[in-house]
Chain A
């Protein structure tokens, strides 16, 4: 999708603003959004829902506002609740009502294993053998999906060199655009000379991007 989220190489954003001793969450609600997003089930399309926010809203809202938007959009779309129900709870909370609580010690204990040694190993997938090998010159396709894609727009039509080849994983373009359909493909880390992508104002560098089979032409042009 040629959305505003596809920011690589865009100009006009000014300096990078940093913050000393930044906490993981700036407000308690940000932590709650993170926890709700990870422990709840709202359907596929987490990233694409954010991309569909609208350019001005996307640029003028924070990361966790993006997440909040994505949770609500998908939850409503997939029948978890209605907007009217959410608004009703907003009125009740604003009027001072206490929110209900509900504990699930089993799930809470499972969360504590997510980043530890018991974390699940990534699933292995079967797919067609990779069409390209390390060192091959490859060309990125010109036409990218109008829905979600993991190929940044700045690579459209660009030529690079395969740096490494990886075992198949589901193509997220398909997963997010087709309601969670799994289409495993080989994927690659591809190195691009930045001077082939933009007119540079500084000495050159390389940009390395992970791209899937579907993002590459069969033969470089």
Chain B
């Protein structure tokens, strides 16, 4: 446990103290294993994150057959890259097109496609985003620097548990000569939530 490295002099926050006590108690009772908890932390810090979704998006931009499969069955398209499982069993990819923009939210809690985007950012879990993006998406997207024309249709997907959503953004202008790997670097987490669009020169 990394907490041990900090020594015992620094006062612990109530949350840290409670968590350490909880882990100690559950460990003592044999109800959790230190290395299994370590593995979860490591997975989310190093393996499961928006780089996964970005690879799928870049593939869809260069491979029309993959894109077709992805839009028909997001979970199967993720599985082609070896991504799947927990909190992403049912994945649906929704496509931005000229005149149509998509954004995702979970107003009731913070449902999110973990296998392809990892842990949601704090703002995605915030009361403000969850309350507002279903009702005033244009105002919210503008706060993120994304001003959409009035005639662009917006679809907001409120994930209510079973289905998790991923936005397939449009390939940006000026990226025609880029390799699949270079394209993946343009696909930020925010582009796949739908509060940003990819731009050449802007990377994760």
Binding site for B on A (CB under 8 A): 5-11, 13-19, 22-29, 31-36, 38-41, 47, 50, 59, 62-65, 68, 71-72, 75, 80-81, 85-87, 89-90, 92-94, 96, 98-105, 107-117, 119-122, 150-152, 154, 166, 169, 172, 187, 189, 191, 194, 197-198, 200-203, 205-211
Check A85/B25 contact, CB under 8 A, given A7-B127, A17-B128, A115-B114.
yes
Any chain A CB within 8 A of the CB of B178? Answer: no
Check A65/B41 contact, CB under 8 A, given A117-B84, A202-B139, A203-B150.
no
Bound complex: CA of A117 vs CA of B176, how far in Å? 32
29 A-B pairs with CB atoms under 8 Å apart are A9-B135, A13-B128, A16-B143, A18-B144, A32-B20, A34-B44, A35-B36, A39-B37, A41-B31, A47-B108, A63-B122, A68-B19, A93-B21, A93-B24, A96-B8, A99-B1, A100-B24, A102-B27, A103-B33, A104-B36, A112-B43, A114-B85, A116-B85, A117-B84, A120-B85, A202-B138, A203-B150, A207-B158, A210-B158
Contact B122 A119 (CB under 8 A): no
Residue numbers in A under 8 Å from B157 (CB-CB): 208-209
Residue numbers in A under 8 Å from B13 (CB-CB): 27, 29
Bound complex: CA of A22 vs CA of B122, how far in Å? 8
Contact B131 A28 (CB under 8 A): no
Contact A152 B40 (CB under 8 A): no
Task: Tell me the minimal C-beta distance from A186 to chain B in angstroms.
Answer: 11
Bound complex: CA of A40 vs CA of B36, how far in Å? 10
Any chain A CB within 8 A of the CB of B96? Answer: no
Contact A99 B20 (CB under 8 A): yes
